[in-house]
Amino acid sequence: MSPEEVLEEMELRMMKSVDVLKGEFSSIRTGKASPALIENIMVDYYGSRSRLRELAGISTPEARLLVVQPWDPGSLGEIEKAIMQANVGLNPSNDGKVIRIPIPEISEERRRDLVKVIKKIAEEAKVAVRNVRRDANHQIEELGKDGKVPEDEKFRLLEEIQGKTDEYGSEIETQLEAKERELLEI
């Protein structure tokens, strides 16, 4: 593997870590309606498990209301059941055509608990980025030992790897701060 390939793979893996973080943050409830809260709930649909977003349209007509409109009206009951069983703290109501899900206000104590949860998720993302850095450093060291990369080039590459690690670490911090503000905002 060439040094360029090592750097490219490293950056892709770091990007993926940040993308996973963003996905996890989007599924954490802040008191505002967001399709991300329920779109990945698995629904038993004619014997197979499917994501809710594949079976229905999910909209937010109001700031604190989600509306689920199934493509197949016969799946309404299964979708409602899956939302209740998902244990996301939401109570859907079915009117025969659509499912309405009011988003309740969350308490100050719950908000503080959620801040702890997002900090833990962010720390896991930082650990993932540092693990990617470790792997890339190891690959560059191996290339140096094998004589495929001159010593001065090896040090430049290691500095570049650290720079990317710092860049993605600060991106994680930025995402964490934004989500924390969103959670604590009433």
Tens-digit pLDDT profile for residues 117-169: 899 999 999 999 999 999 999 999 999 999 899 999 999 999 999 999 999 99
Confidence of residue 186 (pLDDT cuts 50, 70, 90): low
pTM of the full predicted structure? 0.71
Confidence of residue 183 (pLDDT cuts 50, 70, 90): confident
Give me the mean pLDDT over the 45-52 stretch.
88
Cβ 33 vs Cβ 65: under 8 Å? yes
Q: Examine the domain organization and report whether 123 and 146 are in the same domain.
A: yes
Q: Examine the domain organization and report whether 111 and 170 are in the same domain.
A: yes
Q: Examine the domain organization and report whether 168 and 144 are in the same domain.
A: yes
Chain length of the chain:
186
Most trustworthy range by pLDDT among 27-36, 62-71, 101-110, 160-169: 160-169
Cβ-based neighbour number of residue 25 at 10 Å: 22
pLDDT at 85 over 70: yes
pLDDT at 58 over 90: yes
List the domain range (segments joined by +) for residue 51.
35-102
pLDDT score recorded for residue 25 = 87
Most trustworthy range by pLDDT among 44-48, 50-54, 167-171, 182-186: 167-171
CA distance 51 to 3: 40
Q: Examine the domain organization and report whether 51 and 21 are in the same domain.
A: no
Structural domains in the chain (count): 2
Residue with tokens 């720390």: 123
Q: What is the DSSP letter of 65?
A: E
Q: Examine the domain organization and report whether 178 and 112 are in the same domain.
A: yes
Q: Examine the domain organization and report whether 87 and 126 are in the same domain.
A: no
Find the CATH number of the domain harbouring 47: 3.30.1360.40
